């Protein structure tokens, strides 16, 4: 299977929006946000493509004046889950952030998302905080971070 990790382009927009709709019930990225991120305002939107299909995406944000990057969102298509794509995409964006000069990758994850929390913990992320009432539906967020090589 021919699979590539690459930066998102405008042609990916419909598939990205469809993926977002299927993967998240709240706090979805809008068309406008995706467009802005594809234009690389202050981050990188990376996708996995296999045989013309979008298997997943990850959005990493960079902020001037800090060496921490933020993993804003990551999603793998339902049919592709459990096959290690989430882990590989995570490693890919960690390498991109390190290349960008970042020393840490930080993220927030819903406390009721054990699959994502387990993925992060198995890949070296440690909990360092909790934000109450973080999501649109008032769920709390766990803050996690990992030092990058
Ligand atoms: C979280 C997510 C990105 C993981 O993607 P994935 O491709 O399934 O991840 P991987 O296959 O690399 O690894 C997932 C791990 O969890 C396990 N796993 C996968 N689905 C699982 C499930 N439904 N229940 C329990 N464990 C599961 C896998 O066996 C694997 O374990 P391993 O590393 O010990 O082998 C994916 O589930 C997803 O897109 N979820 C919806 C969006 C989301 O919640 N994003 C995170 C926002 S913070």
Calpha distance 125→118 (Å, rounded): 9
pTM of the full predicted structure?
0.94
How does pLDDT run across 73-93, given as a tens digit for each residue? 999 999 999 999 999 999 999
User: Is the CB of 92 inside a 6 Å radius of any atom of ligand 1?
Assistant: no
The answer, yes or no, to whether any atom of ligand 1 lies below 6 A from the CB of 111, is no
Domain 3-147 class in CATH: alpha beta
Q: Is the pLDDT of residue 28 over 90?
A: yes
Taking the C-alpha atoms of residue 78 and residue 55, their distance in angstroms, rounded to an integer, is: 9
Q: Is the CB of 81 under 6 A from ligand 1?
A: yes
| 97 touches ligand 1 (CB under 6 Å) | no
Phi-psi region of 82 (alpha: psi -120 to 50; beta: other; left: phi over 0): left
Instruction: Report the percentage of the chain scoring pLDDT > 70.
Output: 99
Q: Which of 26, 58, 82, 112 to mutate to test the pocket of ligand 1 (most atoms within 8 A of CB)?
A: 82
Where do the structural domains in the chain lie, given as residue ranges?
Answer: 3-147
Indicate whether residue 126 lines ligand 1 (CB < 6 A): no
- Give the ligand 1 atom nearest the CA of 56: 39
Strands of the 104-110 sheet, one edge to the other: 3-7, 43-50, 53-61, 68-76, 104-110, 141-147, 126-131
In the predicted model, what is the mean pLDDT of residues 103-131?
A: 98
**Res. 146 pLDDT band, cuts 50 70 90:** very high
For the segment 30-70, what is each residue's pLDDT rounded down to a tens digit? 999 999 999 977 899 999 999 999 999 999 999 888 899 99
Cα→Cα distances 60→3, 15, 144, Å = 20, 19, 14
State in Å: Cα 80 to ligand 1 middle.
10
Question: Structure tokens of 116?
Answer: 């994502």
**Is the distance from the beta carbon of residue 93 to the nearest atom of ligand 1 less than 6 Å?**
no
**How many CA atoms does the CB half-sphere of 94 hold within 13 Å?**
19
């Amino acid at each position: 299977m021919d699979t590539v990790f690459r930066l998102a382009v405008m042609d990916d927009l419909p598939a990205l929006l469809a993926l977002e709709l299927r993967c998240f019930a709240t706090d979805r990225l809008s068309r406008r946000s995706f467009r802005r991120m594809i234009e690389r305002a202050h981050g990188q939107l990376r996708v996995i493509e296999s045989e013309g299909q979008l298997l997943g995406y990850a959005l990493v944000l960079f902020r001037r004046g800090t060496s921490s990057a933020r993993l804003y969102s990551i999603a793998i298509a339902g049919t592709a889950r459990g096959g290690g794509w989430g882990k590989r995409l995570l490693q890919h964006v960690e390498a991109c952030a390190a290349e960008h000069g970042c020393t840490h990758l930080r993220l927030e994850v819903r406390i009721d998302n054990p699959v994502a929390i387990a993925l992060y913990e198995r890949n070296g992320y440690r909990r360092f905080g909790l934000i109450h009432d973080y999501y649109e539906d008032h769920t709390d967020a766990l803050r996690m971070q990992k030092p990058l090589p």
